[in-house]
């Protein structure tokens, strides 16, 4: 089968060997696995981080967003059957979805939204899981809750921010404030449903004050959290909640003590990586997101379509992600 992989970590993305096309054997499903014929994939920051920083002793296939059709199932599979259209994000310790056929545990898979084509659906799984878990599982905001409270989303124009803003606006009563610095990303965040958009290149407290908001109850920091940490502590209300998904290095958690602020780290890979008792909740979340998409409550976060799934187009997609100028999600489709 055709696949795209990296063979040496750390190569700059403008090096034509940073990602290469190759042929691999078609994988065989384990007991709980689906083998999916991949139709479309999306690119996430984790793809670029692994390619740059994780050594490999052979070809490593990346990719943690996929849409396709179930081709074969393992002996213990109960949730799907061959021919089902699915979407999912997989897990970080297995080969990725940038391949014609891909294995994924059925408990991390949802039915593809019926109202979306493959490319539009591929934009959603990883970011939808991350945003849902961050909002409802980590920050523990109840659906329909949050009345009188405000959520600040730092980096709201990216993939996770695009769906998080929608979830918070549509399923809670929170006042949603997103950050974005360029006019086109500010317009995008408003289109996703934010009540307000502020520029994260300006002091957050001053920008919020101009909106008449003295402090916020929740912050979801999706990028450059270390750079904004002191400002986040400043704008959070006492007993507020700080959730993040990126890798800020060292942060001084003692700064949270005076206000009794709580820190919540989200990784959508945790459930499938550790096969937690509630691992199948990701199947539930993805099905719920599909239902909300099909009802018109949520919309795809597809930002750009980069053409067919091959090494050249994936290198282009990685370059745009690394530039931190991507709007929504970058998707590739077909072989």
CATH number, domain with residue 69: 3.90.180.10
pLDDT for 108: 98
Residues 206 and 316 both lie in one domain: no
Residues 23 and 150 both lie in one domain: no
208 backbone φψ class: left, alpha, beta (φ>0; ψ -120 to 50): alpha
Q: Of 333, 100, 54, 303, give the one whose Cα is nearest residue 182.
A: 303
Residues 289 and 313 both lie in one domain: yes
Provide the sign of the torsion angle of the four alpha carbons 114, 120, 122, 128, taken in this order: negative
Residues 7 and 61 both lie in one domain: yes
Residues 143 and 162 both lie in one domain: yes
Q: Where a domain ends, among 265, 287, 304? A: 265
Residues 111 and 135 both lie in one domain: no
pLDDT for 52: 96
Residues 118 and 131 both lie in one domain: no
**pTM of structure:** 0.96
Low-confidence stretches of the chain (pLDDT beneath 70): none
> Token pair of 240, please?
């507020």
pLDDT for 250: 87
Spatial neighbors of 121 by CB under 8 A, at least 6 apart, are: 40, 67, 87, 112, 113, 300
Residues 311 and 231 both lie in one domain: no
Structural domains of the chain, count:
2
> Token pair of 280, please?
């199948």
Residues 95 and 214 both lie in one domain: no
pLDDT for 198: 98
pLDDT for 327: 86
Question: How does 286-302 read in b/e, with b if 16+ C-beta sit within 10 Å?
Answer: beebbebbeeeebbbbb
Residues 114 and 136 both lie in one domain: no
Enclosing domain of residue 256: 127-265
Q: Of 88, 85, 90, 163, give the one whose Cα is nearest residue 117.
A: 85
């Amino acid at each position: 089968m055709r696949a795209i992989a990296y063979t040496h970590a750390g190569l700059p993305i403008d090096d034509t060997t940073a990602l290469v096309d190759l042929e691999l054997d078609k994988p065989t499903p384990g007991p709980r696995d689906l083998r999916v014929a991949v139709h479309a994939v999306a690119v996430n920051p984790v793809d670029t981080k692994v390619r740059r920083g994780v050594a490999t002793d052979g070809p490593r296939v990346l990719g943690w967003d996929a849409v396709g059709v179930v081709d074969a199932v393992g002996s213990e599979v109960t949730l799907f059957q061959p021919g089902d259209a699915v979407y999912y994000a997989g897990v970080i310790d297995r080969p990725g979805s940038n391949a014609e056929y891909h294995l994924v545990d059925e408990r991390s898979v949802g039915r593809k939204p019926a109202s979306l084509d493959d490319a539009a659906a591929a934009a959603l799984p990883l970011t939808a899981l991350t945003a849902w878990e961050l909002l409802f599982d980590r920050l523990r905001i109840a659906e329909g809750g949050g009345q009188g409270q405000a959520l600040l989303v730092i980096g709201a124009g990216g993939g996770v921010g695009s769906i998080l803003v929608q979830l918070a606006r549509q399923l809670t009563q929170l006042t949603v404030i997103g950050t974005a610095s360029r006019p086109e990303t500010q317009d995008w965040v408003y289109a996703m449903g934010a009540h307000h958009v502020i520029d994260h290149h300006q002091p957050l407290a001053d920008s919020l004050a101009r909106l008449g908001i003295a402090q916020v109850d929740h912050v979801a920091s999706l990028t450059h959290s270390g750079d904004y940490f002191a400002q986040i502590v400043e704008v959070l209300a006492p007993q507020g909640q700080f959730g993040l998904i990126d890798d800020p290095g060292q942060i001084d958690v003692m700064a949270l003590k005076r206000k009794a602020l709580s820190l919540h780290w989200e990784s959508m890979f945790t459930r499938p990586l550790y096969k937690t008792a509630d691992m199948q909740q990701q199947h539930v979340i993805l099905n719920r997101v599909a239902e909300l998409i099909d009802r018109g409550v949520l919309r795809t976060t597809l930002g750009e379509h980069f053409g067919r799934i091959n090494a050249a187009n994936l290198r282009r997609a990685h370059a745009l992600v690394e530039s931190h100028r991507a709007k929504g999600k970058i998707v590739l489709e077909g072989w």
